[in-house]
Structure formats: C-alpha cells, structure tokens
Structure 1
C-alpha cells in the first residue's frame, strides 16, 4: 500500500509541476486542449473585430453576446433585443467607409431592436435548373424592358411541384446580377387570409435591406402613415409615424393603394426592383385588388412583379379568377407551366446522379411517373435510391428498375394528399374507382362500378378536370380521360385498403364483361389484369379467381 501511495504522490506532483509556473501562476497552455481553446477564442475575437470594422453596430452586438472562456457561447443581451425580419434579396451593398451604416438599423439608439436579415429561400442545396427556355425568355424580356423604365406584371401558374417558385427565384437572381433588387412576399393557407400580407413582407424586407433607417425614412416618409397600415411593424421602428387620414372607406382604400404605388416609384428611382408575390391562390381580395392597381401603374416604372399561383385552385378563390380575367383584359397572359420535356428530365437526372449516364429506361420510367414535374422527378429518383432499386451491388445502374403500383414517395404523397383534401368523400370514392380502372378510363365504365347517379358523376369528373387531376386523353372515345400524373392515381390507390382494391378490381372485370359482350376477346387482356389484381375475392355467393 505504501508503494502504491508513493506512485500516486509522484503522479500528482508531476501534474501539479506541469500545471503551475513560477509564483504559482497557472501554466495550462501546455495542455493540447487548452491550446486549442485559446486558439479558438483568439480567432473568434479577431473575426468580431473585423466585423466591427465593416459594421460597428453588428460588431457591438457580437462583442456583447459572444462569450469566450472555458466554453464559447452566445448569450443574448436583455438590453439589446433582436427582432428577426425576412430579407428577400441579396445583402445591401458594403459601405465605402467603415463609419457608414450598412443596414436599416445601423443607427438605432441603444435598446432599440436590431434587425438581422434572413434569406426567404431555403439554404438546402438546389438541384440543377433545366429547361423552361420559353418562360425564361419571356421573363428576361420583361426584365430588359424594366431596365429602360417600362415595367410589367408576369403571372406564373401551374400545379404543385411544377417549379413556379424555382422559376421566379432563378429569374430574380438573374435580374439581381444586372442591378435589380428583389423582394418576396408570401400568401399562406388559412381560414381567414391576412389582408395585404405579401406586401407587408415586402415592405419589411425593403426596410431590412435599406442602406440606413434614415434612407428608408427619406424615401417612404410621405406615405408612411398608409404603409404602416399594411405593415404595422414599421411603427415599432418609427414610433413617430403620423396617424393616417380619416377618410370614407372607398376613398381610404384608394388613397392607401395610391400611397403604395408612390412608395414603389420612390424606391425604384435609384434601383430597379423585382417583386415576387408567392401563392396567390391563397391571397385575400384586398391583396389581389392592390395587385391590379399596381399592374395599371408599373408600365412607367423600372419594376417587374412576378405572381405565382396554383392552377386548379381558382374555384376556391373567386377573387383570383376575377383578377386573372382583369389581367388578361389588360394584355397580361399568364405563363402556364407544364412538366419538363423528356430531354430536360434526363438532364435533371444526370445532375442528380452526379453526372453519371442514366439509362434511358430509367429516364422513361421516371418521366412517365412524374410527367416531368421537377419536384416529383427528384422525389421519385431519391425514393428509388433509398429503396435500393437504382444501383446494383457494384454501384452500377440496374437495367430492370420497376415502380410498384402504390409506391409513392412520402413527400409526394403529402403534396398530392393536400390537393385531394379539396374533394369530399363521394368525389374521392369516385376518383379512387377511376384509379383502379387504370391511368386511362371511360365514363361508361366508371359509372358502371360507382354507386353515384350519372349527373353527380358528371359533376365530379368536371371538378377533377378543373382541378387538373384528370385531363382529356388521346386514347379516343373508348378511354376519353387520363390522370394527369400516375403519382396522383397511385396516391388515391394508397388511400384504400387492400380488400377494397381487390373488390373494385373484381367489379371492373365484371363490368367490362357486361358492358362489352361483343368485344370480350379484344378486352381479354384488361379483364385478366383486373382478375389478377382481384386475387381470390368472394363477393356473396360468387367467387372470382
């Protein structure tokens, strides 16, 4: 025991000697972890000092809130709250001198909120942007005209996943490279839409990007009382904004709209703008009315307004229908996006596979499944990879890739499922029966297996056409309807149980035999297909095998 105690004393003596220097001072720098800690602390302090040289206010925030010691941490200063705002564009230009403020709140007094910019777009890595040559050309021409002071409105419609937002982003970023600033405002799904919400986001983003608070005040102050009605958060930054004029409702609205257009004109005097209004199918009537007002006034401003909306949702927003009609009367025809071509889909898959040559069979399979919708292309490809269906053990593309009938990626199912929520139970039941028939189907056969009267079934089919779920087929009168996407059909099938699918398949086989007694041989393949899908199904006293 004495020998063991002596060894422990020697070890402790050695550690204490290494850790303590002359006069008992700490000598921890000899530790590798301590050297790393000191190096990180020094680097952080150096970076904060460099930030302060470019932006004294931001440097002060970091100096107060970033703590270095045994642990590095960020501790918000209770005396300096930060209000996060959306930044809808690139950062403001760097100042020419270190003393010049670079943000709308660079000159805030102590204790007022600091506004830090946040990108409105996802930081996730984007897939390659392919195709859309015609649409890009149209929007690029609008941007070129705006450079010479002739602004315009561009409306972009299409189904979910077709790439409306991506097109708007790409064109806005392209415009920013030739001097434009772009701001984004969104509409959101809700029972009670917030009036002017996308314009409120645009105003808040414009404030965040302004060279200084005084610069924003100088450009917008004449219209500030009305602009603060749209974006009340402006009063938090400018408490001295006067109250708006007391006017009758009709005049008040007109004066408000006029103030917005004047503010836009003032902002665009020194720099052209691209404004993106996202998801207008969820917009309220006042937002759409303001859009019409601006569309009548941007012709002499260096401004391009890009509005995106989902086709097939118009019947749920009559105000959008009226807005589109009014814009068409003004000569503004919406760009209606469809799926990418097969060649563009192949190019997209080439980028997704990191420049590996994708077999034509796989390109065709994914193209047929997605109909060239970029979001669906990417999700189906990634889903097949996750399921181990794309590459063999040697890492080479398989030649025999297949997709199961109800094998729908979860993200795609969520998107399509939200769209199908616009249907009631009878409508879902009828379209599910159509999905069992196949990608193409006839009204006659659908009517034979649905327990819905003819007029009601016509109404359902017409609604599905307006929503873009089904379209006219090229198969002729025998199969006049086709599902827009195979993924929509599969999502409908995935929503019912296996026994119900078997029951419907058995009913389809029986209905084909009854409806086409003189063409049973010609339709033997269809009957056999549905009997195989039905499996062994007992219906009362009858068994179909």
Structure 2
C-alpha cells in the first residue's frame, strides 16, 4: 500500500503569530480540503496529527493502483492549497504552506485499542519512511520515495533530488519531487466512447440467474456462443459488475490463438489467478503460493493434491512432493491429476460458490477440452457455475463441448446464443456511444447496414469517425464536422480495423504490429524487449488504450496488455509482410528466452510456435521435442502427440530417408506413447511396430517363420518353466529394457482388438524376458506375471498360467505394491477361469487403495472385475453390489472408461444371475450402448449373450433371435474370441435351440423336431466344448445338455449330465446354478414320461425342496415363483 503524510510547514511559528481561534479556523479549512481529495481517490484518513493528516491508499479498501491514487490526491491537495493559502495570506497576512511525503511498501495494519476505543491504524518501516519524506519536503512540495516513484513514474512527472539524507537512516536514500501528471496525446473523453449494453438484457438476466442458483447451492453450465465481435466478452464484463458476483469466487481463464498446442493453458491461467502466482515468481515462490492456496481450501489432503495440481501446471517438484509422483506417468498420471483437480474444486465450493469463466474456448488445447469435459460434471453435485465463451464452428473444441454437455448434462445446461442486433438496437448503440448532434440518418443507416448487427463493427466505425476528425468532442458533447461527408463506411470489420491501424503514426503502428506477433495478450516486459527500438513505448501504449485498441490489466501483479478484440490482433498480424513477420517471431522467441530463462519450461510450446513461424527449423524442432516432453510430464497426451507429430513431419521434410534412424525411432516412440496414453490402441501399435523394426526387434511378416517362432517360443517357455537350470541370468541393457517396455505396451494395446496377435507377441516377450534375470528388468515381474493372464484368459494352458504365477510368487519383491497388485490380479483371473475358486482370497482393500494412489487403474480394475465375477457365481450378491459401486466410483473419480465398461457387464451379470430380469434388460441395453460407443467388442459380446438369455427367460424369442444375429455378426468379424466372451453367446444359442425344440415337442410339430434336434445338439456340443475352457459357464452348460437329452427322451444321458452339473456346482461353490440344477431335476422327474423317481436316493420333491431352501437363503424371488408354478402344475 502507499502511505501519505501531510502537514503545515512552520506550524509553530504560525501558531505564535495568530490567536488559537484563527489557527483553528485555518486548519479546519485545510483539513476539509485534504479530507475531500483523499476520499475522492478512495484513500483512508488514518489519523489527524494536529497540523496534518496520515492517510492510507490500498487498505482497508484494496486497490492495485494505490500509488497512482496517492499521487493524484497529493497533487489535488497541492493545487487546492495554492488557492487556499492565497486567501489566508490576504485575510491574515501570514504564509500558509502544506508539504507532503509518500512511500509505498508493506505495512502492518489492524485494529489497535481497547474495547471502548478501536482505531484502524498502520505501523512499520514503510510508515516511518513516509513520515520522513514529509518532514524532508520543502514547503509547498511533495516528496516521494523510490518505491512510490517506480510504481507511478509512467503516469506522473518527477524531479529527481538524488540521494537525500533521511533521519533514522544510515545511508542517504533516493527521493523524487512529484511535479505533475503526464500529459497524454489526445487523451480524455474525446477518445473514450462508451455505451450501455444494448439488446442483451435477457441474456444477462439469464446469466445472472445461473449465478444466483450457484449461490443457492445448485450448479450449472452456460455456453455463451457467438461470432467474433458479437458481444460475448462484453456480456461477461457486465455480469462481473452485478452485485451477486460479490457472493462468489470468480476464476477466469482464457485460451489464446496459438494455444492449441499449449497444454492446459486456460486451466493453468485460472489456477495461477486463484493462487495469485505472477510471472515474476520464482519456481519456489510459485509452488509456495500454490501450497498456501490449497492449504486454505483442502488442508487435510495437501500432500496428496498439491503434487498433481502442480504437475498439471508444469511446476518443478522436490522432496516429498516429487516422491509422490515419482514413477507415475501416462494414463495413470492423467487420471490422478483429474481426480485431484476435481476434489480441489469440490472442496473450494464448500467454502464459497465458484464461477469459472473460460474465454475463447474455441482456441483451447485438447487436453484442456478433455479436462473441462470431466470438470463440467461437478455442476451436477456442487455449487459451481461454468461459463464457456466461444465462437461456433470449431469441431474439435467448442462444438465438442456443446455435444458433450447436451448429451451428459442436459438438465444443468443453459445456452446463450448471441444474435446480431436488429436495426433499432444498432441505432440505439450508435446514439448511446456518441449522442452526436447533426449525424445524418443516411450515415446511421449505412453503418447499420454494413455492420449487420455486429456491435464491434459499429464501435470501430464510430471510432474511425473520431480518428478522421469527422466527429469531434466539443463543450461536453460529440459534434459532426464537414469531414463526415467524405467518410466511406467500410464493407467488412477487417477493413474498418485496417483503416484505423493505417491511420496511426508510424512508430505506434509498428508497435501494434510487434504486439500482434506476440499474441492477443502480451506481457509488457516482452513487448519492451522486442520493440526496444521504438521510442516512448509507454506513451504509445497509453494512447492505444485511450483510442480503445488495447486495454491493460494486472494479471497477478504482472502488467499485461490485451488487444480489445481478437479481430484487431488478427488484422494487425495479417498486415505484416511475410518476411518481416518471420523476423518478429524470432525476436519474440529470443525475448522469451531472455526474460523467462529461469522458468523456460513453461514457455516451450510458445517458443516452438514462434521459432516455427520464424522458419528457424533447428530451434523449432528443439522446442517441439521439449514441449512434447513437458506435455507428457503433465499428462497432456493430446498436446504431446501434436508436438511430436509436428517434429516428425519437420524432421522427415528436412532429411527424408537420410535422417538419423535413432532420432526417428525416438520421435515415433513418443508418438506411440502418446497414443497409448490416450487409449488409441491401433495407432499406438502402428508406431510401436515401426520403432521396434528400427531397433531390430520387430515382428516377422513371413507366415512360415511366424509359425516356427510360435512353436519355438512355446517350447522354450515350457522348458524354462519345468527345467530351472535353463533360465537366464543376463543383466538387461538399457535398450533391452526399452524393447521390453514397448513390446509390453504393444501387447496391452493388442488385447482390445487383436487377441491372436496378442498371444503370439506375448510368447515372444516371455522368451526374451526369461533370458534375463527378471528381477533386474525394469518392471520385470509385472511384465512377466501379466502374461499368466494371457494363458488363463485365452484358456490355452492353465498349467502354464499357474507355473508363471508360482515363479513370480517365489521370486518377486512382495513389498513392491505394483508387482503385488499384478500378481494378485492375475491370480484371481487364473483361479476364476480355471475353476479353483476356493483359492481366491478375500478382496484386498488396502492393496487396492495403495495402487489407486499410484494410478495403477488397469490392474485394479481388472482385479476388481474378476473378483466380483467370482462372487456373483457364488451367490454373494450384496457383496457384489458393494464392490460394483466401488468400481463405478473408480470410473467416475478417474474418468476411467474400462471401469465404467466393466461396471455395466457386472451389473448385468448380477441382475441376470439373481433373475431380476426386467432390471437386467434395462442395464444391458445401457451397457451395450456404452460399450459400442467406446468400441469394446469383447464385453459387448458378453452383454449381448446375457441379454439373449434374459429375453428367452422372458419368452421374448423374436427379440432373442434378433440379438443373437447381432452377436453372431460380431463373432464372425473376430479371428479369436476368448472363452469369457464367447461362452455366453454359445450358451444363448443353445438355449434358443432348446426352447424351440421343446416348443415343437409340446405342440407336436413333428416336421420341425428332427431339424431342431440336430441344431440343438450341434450348438450344445459347441457350448460344452468351450465351457471346458471356462469353468464359470460349465455347470450351466452341463445342465442344459442334460435338458437336451431329456427332451429327446434319452433320460439316462440326461441324468448323467445333471449329475456332472451338480458335482461341478458343488466343487466350485456356486449355489445359484446348483439350486437351478436341483429345480430342473425335480421338475423333470415329476413329468409323466419320467423313468426316474429319485437320483442318489433323493426324490423329485426333495430336490425341489433343496432348491427352495437355497433360493430363500439367496432371496431369489423369480426362482421361488418358478417353484410355485411347478408345485401347482404337479
């Protein structure tokens, strides 16, 4: 803040010459002058000192320009006192002069006193120095310290007094005499044209209502959509002036035209604003400010939240924060960042409602768009308002946001599409801006016609009238001159802007062009560095502000200028000759390197842009690579992908086939990694293949060699598993680790679209990794153990799967939670698929939570999926429901599609196993739709199989046949379908055939029985053969096979299959299907054609009673109703 002291020079001598009443009268008048002027500039009089005052500017009312306000007040007092002292001299014959002193700096302020008397006061060295400035000043003068001078020198004239001896200070200090304000060219009301907002009252009211809803606890999302110049930013500016905004926290971010490759730019913008981080802050200072901001909102989770928010913002971490994110990368990092940002905003809304405004969203980077899509969902549950401001017609950014909101948040969505002003509104805007005497209606009509209702066009045309002297400001109003008759109204907004820019004085015009190369917004320090050759920059900037071409703002205490409209920046930029533009881009890049060299990593993307535009290809490539690395570090995979693809394109254009192979491999590897992080599996595999080929570790295309390798790799694995002395103990080199890492990621990617190749490549990995000491391979046991799942998932060999698990158990580090998670997960996969369910241990919540903290979502989700699948088969439905909710939370908290997909599969599975058929049908339809959208064919096929079974049980045979047709088409398109996905489809085909066969037998439609019998037999055998590879469906397939033989009157065979079904159900511990087999036996034994009255000494009715008891224990109401029907029919 700025402290102001003023007193009467020679007050003691004055008091001796006059009586007390006269002195009191003089001082009373002086105090009134000082009070009026200090209050005029919103200062606070802290105390009266008898012959003067002490005042504060910047507290208790905060002002960023407190030094300027104090100087204005001091000059106003000086001017008023000049006239006042003349009156005192005339009336009383004495000299009366005031003097003043100002100093700017930190001050301790607060209430001092007891309960009866409380004063707001200030203390500290800043106050003392202000007082010394006052006592050092000559009568009638104003003396300011160096601190105040630095703050106000752009706006006032000062005379340097050099070093001045100040009481209480050992060394002399710089002091300056405040002389006057700086005269600005053509400043004042003759340049400023303002208008009330026209034609947007309803839109503003609609916007204000959404703020009120946030204040009252309800969130929403508002999109303000409109073409350039239509008034989007003005609408937001008007909202900020409404009283309701005092009840919320407003955070603003802005995307910039070069920002499509600047990772999270608008999000970082608003986070810096929230944490009060300025560009001058060192990395340590910036992190400290962020730490303070988070502690105020979410102190209990500071250690968890800060590392991930800071990583998003590109900050360098150290100590415990660095340790927290160590080893977390790719998708894991992305999901943890999302989770923590969401939780931080959620906590912030508990303190005060949030209004988040993102301007120019159409220019945003894809990582910001993806993050915003996730954050917007907070509107469903939190008191938060998102206001997105953008132009239409940008598919990848703003149009995508609109589509997302309409699809997922329709109830919380408000759309404000700004339309052009109609004729009457346009005329009102012109009149509001100028209130011109003598402006012909024909001129107004021309403006209205050409503008097409665009407010910015109208404003710029009117300003051009002033620039040309066609309109002048005289006697407080605008008037038309004769020049109006020669004015030509431009046809386009670009013509208007270029005409205004061209009319600027040459050096000012050059300054505008330099600024346009920097961007829509530009820091003062960069501009002065680039445009240093242009004289008197400060005055020129002030003039550009006055003619309203630019405006300034203090972003976190850093002076920044901003083109008032993006169109102005675009017009100025396009007017620069191409070669000159390139030179300016290089100068801008060079200046950024100089000014921000201590935190250059924050500007890599911007430097890549400027060097690329400046045709410095070496530098462009260098910063593209650095920007890509930074983007990957902050989980901005989309921007990393763009940078690396641009770098690859640049590299190949420059060098062609002569380019360095290793550099090409690095670029392709990074592109593949970015695709992998984004879940674009096919694209990731394409680039991983290319890199591995360059490294001499690619896959052969020769089918004969490929077949030979498959056999060789399998035999090698078997030999190593059963003959320990054959295992390798080599230490892997760096390149070996890189190859294994890439091959492993390629294998994970292949899971989703080419399971056959996944298996072949998996064997290659196992052969390679077992030639090393696995413990010395990076993530060795995680890679090794994961391939156990490959053998059990495909049911190719449960023995090999178990061997791999046993080897891992004996050798791996059990304290490594990542490796332990893989082992536990793959163990559940093996035990579930092979049918050793008793080996599955209870769900390990502690292990899950630890792995969620490091972002191991894939393993956590898979483990949870397989575990829930097992307990559903065991009839533990309540426990399954709880864990499905946990899986759903993982999907929501981390925006993890695999968890969301599996949740649909499991909900469908638990509902159909519990025979809640109508609920199951609704869930399966939703699941199939979601799985189709994210292209997960395997789980989709699983859901379709369950849907067919549900439709059959509901007697919707036509619907079942139609669903079966869809499933069959999916199966035919895939070369290899794992048992987990295909068995439900095969069983549903068998169930349809059985239903149709039984229906024909009961209706005595003999012409179809023979054909249906053959069809049912074939589908039954196929289902049975596949169920041998997948234990969960075996018991049910055996029961259905028994039903088949019963229907064709081969009762002995039927009973044999039912006995096998019972044995399998008892072995697995699967009460739902075991009870249904009991019910089937009881029902069939009661039929007239039955040759059996009992099985294993148990009668039909006893089987039904056993089934009833089990159904009651599991609360299976549908099955109990079936039993009641059987009882009534018999």
TM-score using structure 1 length: 0.52
Q: Establish whether residue 291 from structure 1 lines up as the match of residue 372 from structure 2.
A: yes
In structure 1, C-alpha distance between the alignment counterparts of 2:469 and 2:341, rounded to whole Å: 54
Note the alpha carbon deviations across 1:256-308, whole angstroms, 9 max, x for none: 11211111111111211211111112211110111100112222211111111
Note the alpha carbon deviations across 1:156-202, whole angstroms, 9 max, x for none: 22222111111122223326445122111111222763212222222
Higher alpha-carbon deviation: 301-310 or 396-405 = 396-405
In structure 2, C-alpha distance between the alignment counterparts of 1:410 and 1:36, rounded to whole Å: 54
Q: Secondary structure at the match of 1:297?
A: helix
Partner of 1:381: 462
Higher alpha-carbon deviation: 353-362 or 364-373 = 353-362
Change (3 A) 1:390 1:36: same
Q: 1:418 aligns with which of 570, 584, 591?
A: 570
Q: Secondary structure at the match of 1:339?
A: coil
Aligned residues: 344
Task: Give the deviation of 1:405 after TM superposition.
Answer: 6.0
Q: 1:327 aligns with which of 405, 426, 431?
A: 405
Note the alpha carbon deviations across 1:107-140, whole angstroms, 9 max, x for none: xxxxxxxxxxxxxxxxx88542222133223322
Q: Establish whether residue 361 from structure 1 lines up as the match of residue 429 from structure 2.
A: no
Counting only pairs closer than 5 Å after superposition, residues 108-257 of structure 1 correspond to structure 2 as 127-174=195-242, 176-177=244-245, 179-190=247-258, 193-208=261-276, 216-221=294-299, 222=301, 223-232=305-314, 241=321, 243-245=323-325, 246-257=327-338
Note the alpha carbon deviations across 1:364-402, whole angstroms, 9 max, x for none: 222112222222211111212332334799975579756
Partner of 1:404: 488
Q: Secondary structure at the match of 2:100?
A: helix
Task: Give the deviation of 1:54 after TM superposition.
Answer: 7.8
Partner of 1:339: 420
Q: Is the 8 A contact 2:467 2:500 kept in 1?
A: no
Change (3 A) 1:386 1:248: closer
Q: Establish whether residue 272 from structure 1 lines up as the match of residue 424 from structure 2.
A: no
Change (3 A) 1:322 1:192: closer
In structure 1, C-alpha distance between the alignment counterparts of 2:438 and 2:111, rounded to whole Å: 47
In structure 1, C-alpha distance between the alignment counterparts of 2:353 and 2:256, rounded to whole Å: 27
Pick the structure with more helix per residue: 2
Task: Give the deviation of 1:230 after TM superposition.
Answer: 2.7
Partner of 1:11: none
Q: Is the 8 A contact 1:292 1:323 kept in 2?
A: yes
Partner of 2:635: none
Q: Secondary structure at the match of 1:154?
A: strand
Change (3 A) 1:177 1:218: closer
Q: Is the 8 A contact 1:198 1:277 kept in 2?
A: yes
In structure 2, C-alpha distance between the alignment counterparts of 1:234 and 1:60, rounded to whole Å: 35
Change (3 A) 1:336 1:421: farther
Q: Is the 8 A contact 1:176 1:182 kept in 2?
A: no
Q: Is the 8 A contact 2:307 2:317 kept in 1?
A: no
In structure 2, C-alpha distance between the alignment counterparts of 1:204 and 1:191, rounded to whole Å: 17
Change (3 A) 1:199 1:396: closer
Task: Give the deviation of 1:350 after TM superposition.
Answer: 2.6
Q: Secondary structure at the match of 1:182?
A: strand
Change (3 A) 1:269 1:164: same
Q: 2:390 aligns with which of 300, 303, 309?
A: 309
Q: 2:339 aligns with which of 245, 258, 263?
A: 258
Counting only pairs closer than 5 Å after superposition, residues 425-464 of structure 1 correspond to structure 2 as none
Note the alpha carbon deviations across 1:405-443, whole angstroms, 9 max, x for none: 658433677727827989xxxxxxxxxxxxxxxxxxxxx
Q: Establish whether residue 371 from structure 1 lines up as the match of residue 452 from structure 2.
A: yes
Gaps of 5+ in 2: 1-9, 14-81, 83-94, 113-119, 152-191, 278-288, 502-566, 575-1130
- The one of the two structures with greater contact order (alpha-carbon pairs below 8 A, sep at least 6) is 1
In structure 1, C-alpha distance between the alignment counterparts of 2:339 and 2:481, rounded to whole Å: 61
In structure 2, C-alpha distance between the alignment counterparts of 1:369 and 1:190, rounded to whole Å: 30
Task: Give the deviation of 1:234 after TM superposition.
Answer: 9.8
Partner of 2:430: 349
